[in-house]
Structure 1
Amino acid sequence: MSLIWATRGRSWGFRFLLTAGFEDPLPEYDAAFAGAGDGPEICHRVGARVALRFPDPLGRKDRAGRVIPHEFVVSGSLAEGIESVEDGLRVIWSRPGVADEFARIWESPEPPAAHG
């Protein structure tokens, strides 16, 4: 399973928090989200990967008052169980280290370093 996670915090802009081991996850992210649209909720399968976007489940907002989006590129066995945004919330958001990690860092003045 590999997971790329991009989001923003209350005061820091869009960042990759998880990189799935890629030194630069942007090309993988761009390829997965290509053609997915720009709606607030997306579940877009591209081959064995799923591009997933949903608003913060707790409605957290940044300093400008925008609801924080969470965007994931999921591959491997975990992607097999995701066919909808609801599946993604259940499978990805509830994973150890995702919802709890965001709760810990979203109000930090600086973004955390991305990791694999």
Structure 2
Amino acid sequence: MSLIWATRGRTWGFRFLRDGGFRDPLRAYDEAFSAVGDEPEIWRRVADKGALRFPDPLGRKDRAGRVIPHEFVFLGPLADEVDSVDDARQLVWPQVADVFARVWELPEPPSAER
């Protein structure tokens, strides 16, 4: 699955946990999330990308008490498979839930995976 994943942990700030194969995923991330606003749940398609945001399904919060958001950029054909936040969440969350369970309490974020 080709995607970019940005989130934060209990003690570490917003980071990319998957980079979608980009050396610098920020550009693709910015393109997908431009003009999205700060709504807690969104699904938006932009050209060949899809932007997805949803709060942590288990309600995990950082040390400041904020619910952890998960933001994904679906790349290429993967974006064509999705029509809603619920569709996207059901597609991506099972593939990253265990990863996040292992890293969210780490004192430092892990390196981004390709």
Report the equivalent of 1:112: 110
Aligned partner of 1:11 in structure 2 is: 11
Instruction: Give the counterpart letter for 1:53 in structure 2.
Output: R
Tell me the residue number matched to 2:91: 91
Q: How far 1:115 moved relative to its partner?
A: 1.9
Give per-residue Cα distances to partners, 1:61-106, cap 9 Å, x unaligned. Answer: 00000000000000123211211110111001112xx010000110
Counterpart-to-counterpart distance in 2, 1:103 and 1:115 = 16
**Letter of the 1:59 counterpart:** G
Query: What SS class does the counterpart of residue 57 from structure 1 fall into?
Result: coil
**Counterpart residue identity of residue 99, structure 2:** E
2:82 is the counterpart of 1:82: yes
Q: How many residues align?
A: 114
Kept in 2, the 8 Å contact 1:4–1:74? The answer is: yes
- Name the counterpart of 1:100: 98
Once residues 25 and 19 of structure 1 are traced to their aligned partners in structure 2, the CA distance between those partners, rounded to angstroms, is 5
Aligned to 1:108, the other structure's residue is in SS state: coil
TM-score by length of 2: 0.96
Amino acid at match of 1:86: D
Letter in structure 2 aligned against 1:75: L
Aligned-partner SS, 2:27: helix
* Cα RMSD after superposing both structures: 0.9
Distance 2:108 2:33 in 1: 26
> How much has 1:38 moved relative to structure 2?
1.4
Tell me, in whole angstroms, the C-alpha distance in 1 between the residues paired with 2:23 and 2:78: 22
| Structure 1 consecutive aligned stretches of length 4 or more whose deviation exceeds 6 Å | none
Given residue 7 of structure 1, which amino acid in structure 2 is its aligned partner?
A: T
Tell me how far apart the structure 2 counterparts of residues 47 and 76 of structure 1 sit (CA, whole Å). Answer: 9
Look up the equivalent residue of 1:99 and give its one-letter code. Answer: A
Question: Residues 34-73 of structure 1: matches in 2 within 5 Å?
Answer: 34-73=34-73
